[in-house]
Amino acid sequence: MVFQVQKSDDITIVDVDGQLIVGNRQELKQKVLEELERGERKFLIDFANTGYIDSSGLGVLVSLSKKIREQEGELRLSGLNEDLRTLFELTKLDTLFIITDTREEALKGL
């Protein structure tokens, strides 16, 4: 798994390639928090290339979303396939996040 970070204007985009699970979630957390400390405020995490997410991966998203909101920033999620959407729905986390189908939609709104 690899987390790739790019910038598009003032938005920080993170691609999750592979799985977001207990073995690597800290890496994602650290990457996003570094950017937040550097002053970035708009974040998009794109799951278009993600296999699956476990509960600790979901947990990291929840905790990042809190930290970003504390700094008056915003986090969006995009590119969730049907499988991944199911996980958000089962845990009701779809009500907590702004989730868009495509990366483009998310970028437009941010």
Q: Which residues bind another protein (CB under 8 A)?
A: 1, 19, 21-24, 52-56, 58-60, 62-63, 66, 83, 86-87, 90-93, 95-96
Closer Cβ to another protein, 11 or 93, answer by number? 93
- Min dist. Cβ of residue 61 to another protein (A): 9
Closer Cβ to another protein, 9 or 95, answer by number? 95
Q: 79, 63 in Cβ contact below 8 A? A: no
Q: 70, 102 in Cβ contact below 8 A? A: no
Alpha-carbon span 81 to 47, nearest angstrom = 8
Alpha-carbon span 38 to 31, nearest angstrom = 11
Closer Cβ to another protein, 21 or 48, answer by number? 21
- Min dist. Cβ of residue 24 to another protein (A): 8
- Min dist. Cβ of residue 64 to another protein (A): 9
Q: What would the DSSP string read from start to end of 87-99?
A: HHHHTTGGGTSEE
